Structure 1
Amino acid sequence: MARPYSQRAREQLNATSADDILLVLLEIRHPQLAVPVRVVNDTQNIVVEGNEFIACAFDVTLPDDSDNQV
């Protein structure tokens, strides 16, 4: 299944010198958490759709889009 990116995001991903950077937002939910943990891979906190994401350095490796793989 392909990942949905906006047209603007696709342009930035394919640009040799992008105007904007793409930020990785991570939201962790669990029944034992009163509120979700929200972090952004950046040096500054950011508010998205009314939710504050706390700046935190992390790496994300997404699985490939191939079907029938673990």
Structure 2
Amino acid sequence: MADSRESQKGPGEVSAEAGQVVLDGPDGVAVTMTPDAAEETGRRLIAAAAEARGQHGHGGETDGDADDAL
């Protein structure tokens, strides 16, 4: 599913507003989800991130925070 768009290196901003979860991304993109949809999306994002890290040439940039906790 690769394309010519550059991958975003920073995380999106997430907030809870009026019982909904709002994800603000780059270029003014905003997605509003129910709490259940947001939870499942979060699980899927984590699984896809783990899969991407295992793929050849993934880039592997991290902010280092996870290593700081060890």
Q: When the two structures are superposed, what TM-score results if normalisation uses the length of structure 1?
A: 0.28
Q: Which has the higher helix share?
A: 2
- TM-score (structure 2 length as normaliser): 0.28
Higher RCO (C-alpha 8 Å, min separation 6): 1
